[in-house]
Chains A and B, each alone.
Chain A
Amino acid sequence: MYHKEKSIQMKSSASALYNNLSVLRIAPRSLTYFTVVHANMVNMVSASWDGLNYSHRQLQSKEANVATSSSLIMQAAWCVLPSRDILVLTSQKGIQMYESDGSIMVYWHALDTPETQTAQAVFARGIAAVREKYICVGISSGSMLVFDVPIKGSNITLSEVLEEHKESITDLASECSGSLECIADMVSADDSGNLCVWKSGEDFQLLNKIPDKAIEAFCSSVKLWKGTVVAGYGTGQIRLYEAVTGIVHAEVNAHARWIYSLDIAPFSGLLLSAAEDSLVRVWHLTMTPETNSVEIVHMYNECVTDTQICGAKFCDGDGYAFAVTGYDLSEIIRYTQV
C-alpha cells in the first residue's frame, strides 16, 4: 500500500517522547514543515514538494532565569487556526509560541515551578488548536490552559484554566473532521488513562469523562474524528469510543509495546498508529450514522527495523503520505502510497 521514500536528515536525533513529530502542510508554497524534539531543542525542517530544497532551523527551549538544569522540551506541535498557524513548544519551564516558520516567538507562558525540587515533575505536555481561536495546553498537574489567540499579533491571553484531570496530561486533540455538527470539540487524556471530552467556548464545558477500567492503563495519544475518540494505550491497545457517551465502539490489540503516536487523515478516515515495537500500522475507520456504529479494519503494516518509533503523522488530509521518527534516529522516514 505504501513504499518508502527518501528520508529527510535532521540535525539531531529524536528523543523518546510521545507524539514526537508534527507536520504542517503549506500548499500555497508547496512546502511541508516537520518538527521533531531533541532534548531541549526542536529540529525544524522545511521540505519542498519537489524534493529539491530543504532548510533547517533549530529552536531552543527558553530557560527561566539562569537555571543550572536545562529545560527539556516535552512536545512541539503546530496549531492550525483559520487565520494563522502557531508553533507551540511545551517544556519543563513553560510554553513558547512562535509564528509558523519558527522565526518569531510571539508568546511565553512560564509554569509555576516550586522553589525546591518536588517528587512530582513539572512540565507542560499536550497541545491542541480548538475551533477558531483557542490553543489548549496540558500541564503535569492535570490542569489545562486555554489560550485565546487573536487573528494576528502577540496579544495572546490565558482565557481559562480547566481543572478536571488529577494526573499529568499526556495528549490533547481537537475534532479534526472539519464538521461543525460535532458536539465535542476536544478530548484530553491523562497518565491514568482517563479521557475528558469538552465543548469549547468562552467557558469550556466538560461533556463527558471516560474513566479507564484497567489498572495499568495509560493513554499516550488521542484523536477525535467525527465524534469518535481514538485512544492509544501503553498496553498496545487502541480503543474507539463515542465521545459524548463514552460507549466503546471497538477494541484493537494493535501493538506489542507502548503506543507513542496516533494520527488521522480526516478526509479518508485512515488511522496511523506507531509504537515502541517498531511497527507502524495503517487502519481504516468507517462511520455508519444509521446504526451509530464505527468500524475499524486493518490495512497495512510497516516495520521500521530496530527502531522504537516515537512519532508518526500523515503528511496530508487524505493519508497519501506519512512520516515517522524514532528514538536515536536522525532522520524523518517518509512513505507514500503506491
Chain B
Amino acid sequence: MSSRTLPLLFINLGGEMLYILDQRLRAQNIPADKAKKVMNDIITTMFNKKFLEELFKPQELYSKKALRTVFDRLAHASIMRLNQASMDKLYDLMTMAFKYQVLLCPRAKDILLVSFNHMDAIKDFVKDTPSVLSQVDETYRQLIEMYTPLSSGEFQLIRQTLLIFFQDMHIRVSIFLKDKVQNSNGRFVLPISGPVPHGTHIPGLIRMFSCNGEEVKRLQFRNGGNYTGVLREGSFEMFGERVIKLGTNMYSVSRPVETHMSGTSKNSAQKKSVNTAPNPLAKEELNMLARLMGGMEVQKPGNADSVLLCYEHCFNQQANAELVKIMGDFTEEAGEPCSSSANSKGDDLLAMMDGL
C-alpha cells in the first residue's frame, strides 16, 4: 500500500520504546549519568544518518519479524541488556501503544502530530547533547519535507497500511485496561463523545438547497453521541502546540509521590503530561514490579560496564506466572560487554537492513 509508512512506524515505535526505557531507568534508580548515556546511545543509533536515509526511501513496510529485529538491535545499542522475555514485553507494549494512537487519531493527518509528539519528547531527552540534537533536528526537517505536502487521502492510505500491520493484535496492556481505554477482550474503546476532528462538523444538521443554491430547508437529527466541539489544528512545524495528546509520554511523572520517582525535575517536558494519563496507577504498577524483581545488578566500574536491567509489565492475567519465570531469568549472567561505539551499532543496523 503506501510506500511512505515505514518512517512513521519506526519513529513512533522508537518513541514509545524510549518512554518505557526512560521510565524503567528512573524507576530502578539507575544513576543519572548512566541513564542518560543509555538514552543518548539509543537515540544516536535511532537517528543515524545512513539508517534514516534508508528508512525514508519509498518502500513497503517490513514484515513484523524484520521490524522486531530492528528494534531488538536498537534496544541493545547501549550498555543496557534485556533478556528475551523483557524484549518481548517491551515490543508488545510499544506496538499496542502505537496501534492505539493510530486508531484514535481524529484525522488521518494527525498521525504526523503524534509523530511530532514523540519527536518533541526525544528532543527533550537529548537537549544537553548537541551532536545528537542536531541529528534529531535533521529528522524533523525530513519529516516535514516528506509529509506536510501529502493530502488527507494519502495520509488515510498510510493509516490503512499501519492498521493492516497491526491487524488482529489484541494484547492487553494494564495501563490501558486500568484507564478504561482498552476492554478486557483487548479491543480499544472508541468513544462517541468529545470533540470532533478539525474540519469536521458535529453531526446533526441536514441542509437542503434549491437549484440556485439557496438553502430552503434545515433539519436536525439526533446523532446518538455526545460531541462537544471541534478540535483546533495542531502545529505541523518544528515547534508549536500539537493539540493532539496521543503520542505524548503516558508514563511521565506529573507529581513526585513515591520516593522511587524522586529527582525527576529534569524531565520537565514530560511533566506537562496528558490529563488522561493514569500516572499514579502506572507508577504503582511499576513499583510493584520493582519490588517483585528486586533492584538491578551493577558491575564494579573497571569491568566492562554492563548493567543488567530487567523489567516486566503486567500485561495480562498470566502476569504472575510470567513474573516468577522472569525472576528466575533475573539471575542469569550479565550481558555482553559493550565496547562498540554508536557508529558501529549503526552499521550493524544498516547491514541488517541491507539483508532484508
Contacts and interface: CB of A to CB of B under 8 A. Distances in A.
B234 interface: no
A296 B60 contact: no
A191 to B, nearest CB: 3
B239 to A, nearest CB: 23
Contact of A17 (B160, B201, B203): B160
Given A235-B201, A256-B202, A247 B167 contact: no
Contacts of B289: none
A5 interface: no
Given A121-B157, A235-B199, A306-B188, A256 B225 contact: yes
A168 interface: yes
Contacts of A120: 3
Q: In which size bucket is the chain B interface?
A: 35 or more
Contacts of A307: 190
Given A306-B189, A307-B190, A308-B103, A192 B208 contact: no
A279 B202 CA distance: 13
Interface stretch (B19-27, B118-126, B146-154, B311-319): B146-154
A167 B4 contact: no
Contacts of B4: 119
Nearest to A12: B168
Nearest to A295: B208
A218 interface: yes
B208 A250 contact: yes
Interface stretch (A28-36, A78-86, A297-305): A297-305
Interface string A105-121: 00000000000011111
Given A118-B3, A257-B200, A306 B190 contact: yes
B211 interface: yes
B169 to A, nearest CB: 9
A39 interface: yes
The prevalent SS among residues of B at the interface is loop
B335 interface: no
B153 A237 contact: no
B209 A250 contact: yes
A277 interface: yes
Interface string B126-157: 00000000000000000000000001111011
Contacts of B151: 167, 191-192, 218
B152 A297 contact: no
Most buried by B among A257, A292, A303: A257
Interface string B259-281: 00000000000000000000000
Interface stretch (B67-75, B215-223, B245-253, B340-348): B215-223
A234 B152 contact: yes
A205 interface: no
Contact of B183 (A15, A301, A303, A306): A306
The prevalent SS among residues of A at the interface is loop
Given A123-B1, A257-B200, A307-B190, A279 B208 contact: no
Contact of A170 (B153, B217, B222): B153
Contacts, number: 159
B51 interface: no
A278 B153 contact: no
A253 B202 contact: yes
A256 B3 contact: no
A123 B3 CA distance: 12
B203 A253 contact: yes
Q: In which size bucket is the chain A interface?
A: 35 or more
Contacts of B210: 293
Contacts of A216: 152, 199
Contacts of B164: 15-16, 39, 72
Nearest to A292: B211
A258 B105 CA distance: 11
B197 interface: yes
B187 interface: yes
B184 to A, nearest CB: 12
A69 B60 contact: yes
B159 A16 contact: yes
A257 B193 CA distance: 12
A301 B153 contact: no
Nearest to B222: A301
A126 B123 CA distance: 43
B208 A218 contact: no
A38 B163 CA distance: 11
B257 interface: no
A17 B2 CA distance: 13
Interface in B211-248: 211, 213, 216-217, 219, 221-225, 227
Nearest to A214: B199
B192 interface: yes
Interface string A59-85: 000000000010010100000000000
Contacts of A301: 222-224
A37 to B, nearest CB: 10
A254 interface: yes
A74 B156 CA distance: 13
B152 A218 contact: yes
A298 B157 CA distance: 30
Contacts of B196: 236, 256-257
Interface string A262-279: 000000000000000111
- 3 closest A-B pairs by beta carbon, nearest first, are A191-B153, A298-B221, A253-B201
Interface of B: 1-4, 57-60, 103, 106-108, 151-154, 156-157, 159-160, 163-164, 167-168, 170, 183, 187-190, 192, 196-197, 199-211, 213, 216-217, 219, 221-225, 227
10 contacts: A15-B160, A39-B164, A117-B60, A119-B4, A121-B157, A170-B153, A216-B199, A256-B196, A256-B202, A328-B167
Interface of A: 12-13, 15-17, 38-39, 69, 72, 74, 92, 117-121, 123, 167-168, 170, 191-192, 216-218, 220, 234-237, 247-258, 277-279, 292-298, 301, 303, 305-308, 327-328
Given A235-B201, A297-B219, 4 more contacts: A119-B4, A218-B152, A234-B152, A247-B213
